Amino acid sequence: MLSKIIEKALNKQIRIEAESSQIYLAMACWAEVKGLEGVAAFMYKQSDEEREHMLKLVRFVNERGGHAQVSELKAPNVTFKSFKDMFEMLYEHETFVSESINELVHITLEQKDYATHNFLQWYVSEQIEEEAMARTILDKINLIGDDKGGLYLFDRDINQLTVSTAANISPE
């Protein structure tokens, strides 16, 4: 059974994951209307993954005797100055999510809720991967700068890039 403190903290994270999904959906839309299909596909996938992160938490809360809250969400940014700007926002957002997960893990230890602590380890690993991926993308974007040809190739290769990043840092 979840304590009220843990339930509240998990519900806060549910909201953050839902907002993350919306943030990346807005990025997908912007990339799509700008004609970068690869970037758009990548962002749609990110958005889906964030929804999965949210659902995993929702089910955990409900199964452990709590009540997952579906709340109003903050509207995301829908336009961006540049692709670099957009990916910087993605990276910053992921570091914010990591901090939030760390805080949540801290609360579970304070509350001696080892079941939730154990459940959250998946999120800790996931955040390491997401931050590494965002950093890899940002490094590439910084190399490309304003070069249109570079951006074309980046758009073509972004999925490949992220798959190999994930493979490189997986612990197995």
Contacting residue, 10, 39, 57, 97, with ligand FEO by CB under 6 A? 97
Cα torsion 45, 172, 96, 111 to 10°: value is 120
Contacting residue, 58, 130, 151, 154, with ligand FEO by CB under 6 A? 130
The yes or no reply on residue 50 touching ligand FEO (CB under 6 A) is yes
43 neighbors 21 (Cβ within 8 angstroms): no
Cα torsion 80, 82, 83, 86 to 10°: value is -40
The yes or no reply on residue 40 touching ligand FEO (CB under 6 A) is no
Distance (Å, rounded) from C-alpha 44 to C-alpha 46?
Answer: 5
The yes or no reply on residue 19 touching ligand FEO (CB under 6 A) is no
Nearest distance, CB of residue 90 and ligand FEO, angstroms: 9
22 neighbors 72 (Cβ within 8 angstroms): no
The yes or no reply on residue 15 touching ligand FEO (CB under 6 A) is no
Nearest distance, CB of residue 98 and ligand FEO, angstroms: 8
Enumerate binding residues for ligand FEO (CB under 6 A): 17, 20, 50, 53, 94, 97, 130
